[in-house]
Amino acid sequence: MKKALIIVVATLLVCTAAICGTLAWLNDSTDSVQNTFVVGENIDIDLDETTGDNYTVVPGATIAKDPVVTVNNNGEGCWVFVEISDNTPDFINYTVDSAWTAVPGYANVYYIENAAETEYAVLANNEVIVDSDVDAAEIESALKNNNTLTFTAYAIQDDAATTAAAAWEAMLAEL
């Protein structure tokens, strides 16, 4: 009986070893994925004007004025802003080009979201118009106060904010 038990146990051990030796767990692996992080292109804008600095004002005149913001950002998305400081008399008028949208809550600040690498005219038709019903005495009196129309352009990466107002606030915080 003892001998039979030893034979059964030995047989079981041999069978177990044979089964386990051929049994393998299913497995798999992948190749590594390596990510490299680099600095993005700088946001780069220019503000130019070809029509000059001083303008003669006469009733009913249409004055050529062509401030242009150029985006040179090489594909980096950005918010572009133009701020207009207007110290001119009420009889000097202009319209901001339709490419620009007013920043909600901010006077005289306009934006273009996710600006492409291109030029954006600031003023519609690149002009300033003098009311025709103003007379020379009004013009002379008003223009003694060093009246200016000033444009300043800004840009910040588009990831800075999800709304124009938030992007403008982020821009102001950087100044």
Residue 43, token pair as written in the block: 């946001």
Q: CA 175 to CA 173: how far, in whole Å?
A: 6
pLDDT for residue 158: 85
pLDDT for residue 153: 94
Residue 6, token pair as written in the block: 């030893």
**β-bridge mates for residue 81, sequence order:** 111, 154
Model's pTM, two decimal places?
0.74
For residues 151 and 87, the answer to whether their CB atoms sit within 8 Å is: no
pLDDT for residue 23: 58
pLDDT for residue 87: 86
Ranges of residues in the chain whose predicted pLDDT is under 70: 1-2, 4-5, 8-10, 12-24, 32-41, 73-75
What's the Cα-to-Cα distance from 29 to each of 25, 35, 36, 130, rounded to whole Å?
A: 13, 19, 22, 75
pLDDT for residue 4: 65
pLDDT for residue 28: 73
pLDDT for residue 9: 62
Q: Give a three-class secondary structure readout of 122-163.
A: CEHHHEEEECCCCCHHHHHHHHHHCCCEEEEEEEEEHHHCCC
